[in-house]
Structure 1
Amino acid sequence: DAYVIGGYMEIVDVDKVGMNAMSKFDPIISKQFSTYCIKGSAIRIKGVHVINAPKEAYTALNIIRNLFPASIKERYFIHRKMEDLYKYVPKEYLPIEYGGRNGSLPELAKKHEQDLLDFNYYFKENDKYGVDEHLRQGQKMDMNSIFGLEGTFRKLDID
C-alpha cells in the first residue's frame, strides 16, 4: 500500500549503454510508456533519474525527455554527477555502489525477491479476478488513441 500511495522513484544507470543501443531506441514505445504511466498505472512516478550518461547520450536523452507530457517531463532528470542525484535521493536510500548506505545491489535484489515470495499468496489470489470487457458500458476503448502516436511534433527543445 505504501508503494501505491507514496509512489516510486526510478534511477536509470546508462553507464554501460552504448550509442549503438541508444540509436535503436523507439520514440513510439517511449510515448506509449508515458501514456501507461499517466493513465494506466495505479502507482505514481515521483521521479526518473538518469545517471552516468556520456556526453553523446545527453542530447538523445533530452530528446526522449521532450516526448513526455509536462506532468512526466518535470519529474525526469538527467544527472551529470552523482552529487546532483543526492539532492533528490538521500544517500541512506541508495546502494553502496552508488555512494549510499543501504546495502549492496545483490543484497537489495535478494531482499526484494524475498518480499515478492512473501506475497505469493496475494498474487495467486489476485489471479482469480479479472474484467469482462463485454459488460463495460459506454464507448469501446480505442487502443490506437490510447497507445498510438497521435498529433505532430511542432517544437522540440534540445539542451
Structure 2
Amino acid sequence: MSATGVEKTEASATREDLRREQDLKELLLWFQQNEKLPKEIDPLLLRRFYQCMYGDLAETQKLIEVNYALRNRHPHLFIQRDPLDADSRNTFDYADILPLPGLTPDKAKVSLYCFRDFDASKMHHTEDTRAFFMVSDCRFVTPDDSANPELLSEGEVQIFDMKGTTMRHISRLTISTLRAYIKFLQLAFPVRLRAIHMVNCPTYLDRIVSVVKPFISDEVFKLIRFHTVSLDTLYEFVPRAMLPEEYGGGAGSLETLRTQTQKSLVKHRDYLMDPNHWVVEKTEKRNGNSWRFFK
C-alpha cells in the first residue's frame, strides 16, 4: 500500500473512532434520561449494545430497552441474584459455565457449558439459568482480549456438551424459564449469536430436540450444529487452541478455567447485585398513568 493509501486508511479510522465516541456519549445521555431504564450502565456493556447493532443508534436504543424490559419482567432470573448463595453454589458444583479465553480468527467469543455431575436430581433449571446470566453479565463488562482491551468480540459461539444428558434432565426443564431464556437470547442479547454447537450428542437427540424446538425461532435453529460422532467436526469451527485440555485444546484445564470464572463472579458480585444497574423504577410520570413493560 502506498503512503497516501496508508494516510487515507488512518484518517478513515480516526473519523470512525470519533464518530463512535460521539455516538456513545449521545447514547449514555439518552440512557440516563430514559425512564424505562436503570440509573447506570457499564461503559463496556454500552459499547457492546452499540457494536451489536452495527453502530445504528436507533436500533441500539431499541435493543437496550428490550433488554432491560425483559430483565425486569423476569427479576428472579436477572435481578434477584447472588453468585455466592446456595443456589449458585449448587449450579457451579455440578455444571460448568465457562467463557473461553481469547477470540476466534473472525473475532467471536466462545463459551462452553457442560455437566460435571450427571445426577439429574442436582439440576434446578431456573437457578441454573440465573447462574448462566450472571456469568454472561460478568463477561460483558470484561475485555474479551487481555492483550487488546479495546477489541470487542463481533459474535457469540456457544458450545453445549451433552455428555451425561438424559431424559430425566429434560423432564426437569421449566417451560416458563426455557421460554424466557430463549426469548432473551433471540431478542435482547448484547452480542450477535453466530453459532451453537451441540457436542457428544446422545442417540435420543431427536427426542430432546422435539422438546425445545417449539421455543426456538427458525433463524436461531439454523445456527445449531449437532456433532454426533467426534469432536473433530467441532475443530472445523473453533480453534483447538481455544478449547480446554479435556476437549483436545490448549486453553488450560477445566479446573483452571472454572477457577478464573469464579474469581470473576466474586470480583463483580457488587455489580451483579446493584439495583442501580438493573432495576427500572416504575413511576407514575407519563400522563398520570403507571408505565408497564410491553404495554
Question: Normalising by the residue count of structure 1, what TM-score does the alignment of the two structures yield?
Answer: 0.69
Identity across aligned pairs (percent)? 18
In the aligned structure 1, how far is the partner of 2:206 from the partner of 2:214?
Answer: 11
Contact kept, 8 Å, 2:242 with 2:251, in 1: the verdict is: yes
Where does residue 245 of structure 2 map in the other structure? 96
In the aligned structure 2, how far is the partner of 1:17 from the partner of 1:125?
Answer: 31
Matched, 1:59 2:206: yes
Where does residue 141 of structure 1 map in the other structure? 293
The Cα offsets for residues 43-92 of structure 1, whole Å up to 9 and x where unpaired, read as 43332211111111x20243224531123112222211211111121111
CA 1:125–1:67: 2 relative to 1, 3 Å: closer
Matched, 1:41 2:189: yes
The Cα offsets for residues 115-150 of structure 1, whole Å up to 9 and x where unpaired, read as 3344456x179543432123575973359xxxxxxx
Matched, 1:87 2:236: yes
Where does residue 262 of structure 2 map in the other structure? 113
- Greater C-alpha Rg: 2
The one-letter code sitting in structure 2 at the alignment partner of 1:141 is F
Gaps of 5+ in 2: 1-43, 49-138, 141-151
The one-letter code sitting in structure 2 at the alignment partner of 1:140 is R
* Residue pairs, 1:13-52, within 5 angstroms: 13-25=161-173, 29-52=177-200
Gaps of 5+ in 1: 144-159
CA 1:49–1:61: 2 relative to 1, 3 Å: farther
In the aligned structure 2, how far is the partner of 1:35 from the partner of 1:96?
Answer: 33
Where does residue 77 of structure 2 map in the other structure? none
* Residue pairs, 1:64-75, within 5 angstroms: 64-65=212-213, 67-75=215-223
The one-letter code sitting in structure 2 at the alignment partner of 1:89 is V
CA 1:128–1:32: 2 relative to 1, 3 Å: closer
CA 1:93–1:120: 2 relative to 1, 3 Å: same
In the aligned structure 2, how far is the partner of 1:19 from the partner of 1:104?
Answer: 29
In the aligned structure 2, how far is the partner of 1:134 from the partner of 1:43?
Answer: 30
In the aligned structure 2, how far is the partner of 1:79 from the partner of 1:27?
Answer: 25
Q: Secondary structure at the match of 1:134?
A: coil
In the aligned structure 1, how far is the partner of 2:213 from the partner of 2:181?
Answer: 12
More off after superposition, 91-100 vs 69-78: 69-78
CA 1:66–1:82: 2 relative to 1, 3 Å: farther
In the aligned structure 2, how far is the partner of 1:67 from the partner of 1:132?
Answer: 30
How many matched pairs? Answer: 141
Q: CA deviation at 1:27?
A: 5.2
CA 1:27–1:128: 2 relative to 1, 3 Å: closer
CA 1:18–1:135: 2 relative to 1, 3 Å: same
Contact kept, 8 Å, 2:165 with 2:202, in 1: the verdict is: no
Question: Normalising by the residue count of structure 2, what TM-score does the alignment of the two structures yield?
Answer: 0.41
The one-letter code sitting in structure 1 at the alignment partner of 2:221 is K
